[in-house]
Structure 1
């Protein structure tokens, strides 16, 4: 499944997910972040470790003290972007899962 870390949370340890990892605003992670899907990092987040995923999307004010590894690359998005909040909203209502299921039927 996916992992969502709430706003202003502090995590001591690594985060691993079979799907996506979403780190909300002002999150601090003392460890590695790894996902088979996307890693979405919202504004003012700090990660003290490596980050790996299929695709990494992070705001320009993200601080990572480690290596970035992403098969499809790393995208920097403006801190005021609503992209991460939209992805989180879709995740919470299960919309991405429903669309993937419907696309598979066609």
Structure 2
């Protein structure tokens, strides 16, 4: 798992530091998968609206779960998500790279 997370963090860093190249790679893969690439304007606009991150953004999961529970999708009792994330390995990887740790809540 540590090697996977190291590669993931490095990939995220590469994308964020080399956005034009990342856009080209993504568009090339889209063309391979669908037979058609996006226009430069479309792919550039799409990437400007993305936040490429290794942070699992735990608070967004909790908010989504709260909303789903409020709408009746999660049964009669609110689920306990307090231990849903284990970020120890990711935070070790981040620390080894001098990056800020991420939070589980």
Say which one has the larger Rg: 2
| Greater helix content | 2
Which has the larger strand fraction?
A: 1
Q: What's the TM-score once normalised by structure 1's chain length?
A: 0.31
Higher relative contact order (CA 8 A, sep 6+): 2
- TM-score (normalizing by structure 2): 0.31
